[in-house]
Amino acid sequence: MKDVSRTVEVERNQPAVTASASSSKTETAESHVHSAQPREIKIAHSPDSDDAFMFYGLATNKIRVNGYKFTHTLCDIETLNQKAMHEAFYDVTAISFHAYPYIQDNYALMACGGSVGEGYGPMIVASQKFSLSAVKKLKIAVPGMLTTAYLALRLFAPEIETAVVPFDKIIPEVQAGNFQAGLIIHEGQLTYGQSGLHKVIDLGHWWREETKLPLPLGGNAIRRSLGNDVMLKVTQALRDSIQHGLDNREAALSYAMQFARDLDTNLADKFVGMYVNERTLNYGEDGREAIRTLLTLGHERGIIPHPVKVDFVG
């Protein structure tokens, strides 16, 4: 898969707050002077408005951690899944929850920063109306084999035939008639109707009906080799960044708009609200249960080849 990553330069000389590993409270960064070279933490996330909103505080240097420097790389989620699995290159990386079992030896899950669907999530859309039984017989364009969308699809329809298509090409491919249906993620969940497509099923709604749980879609993983202290500090920094975005919504949304593919401000605000909220700060007990349930079912149904042990940091 083509790597579409790019590194983001953070804004300098911005008023900042310093994150604490033990508390979400902050203090002015200017009161601390450090002569030691800061430790670089390499962060990677997808170029989506919700991820951009979460990382706004860190990416613009509004949130700082004394002694640490954060660099940001933006890359599509399936490439990040594969890179985490094969290289464990980034210190912090956005991943699909489906990818976690394949990287669990090298990474732990951060207890914040997840995108969770509260009765909504990836959708099968089509150029015409199909029944659920009919759509299971079609070849579906999917955004990647390690995406949580694909895992949910396989739980819904174990024998379904699929083909991998870049997530932002799925709607055009269905429109062009190359596929009768596609599995869409990200902003496509709000825009498919504008492309003349029909929703066949929302897998987030289906999952809620099946399990009474939210559908955990994407999270952030942190490299175990950083050590426990660093893992906790960096996790708290992300939590502070999320809180900063929620507390400064207009500015954070303005920053996120540069990544809001084909969305106006109102739709981008709606999309961000769907996936950046109080559960993004903390999954909660049912959120953690949902992650474990999703991955355990994936293993029991033969989709995930080995048992899963979920460790949360922070």
* Both structure tokens of 207: 């999952």
Residue 71: CB partners within 8 Å, gap ≥ 6? Answer: 7, 10, 40, 41, 42, 43
How buried is residue 212: exposed, middle or buried, by Cβ count under 10 Å (0-12/13-18/19+)? exposed
Q: Is 99 helix (H, G, I), strand (E, B) or coil?
A: helix
How buried is residue 187: exposed, middle or buried, by Cβ count under 10 Å (0-12/13-18/19+)? buried
Query: Residues with catalytic annotation?
Result: 186
Neighbours of 95 (CB within 10 A): 28
Neighbours of 242 (CB within 10 A): 27
* Both structure tokens of 254: 């303005």
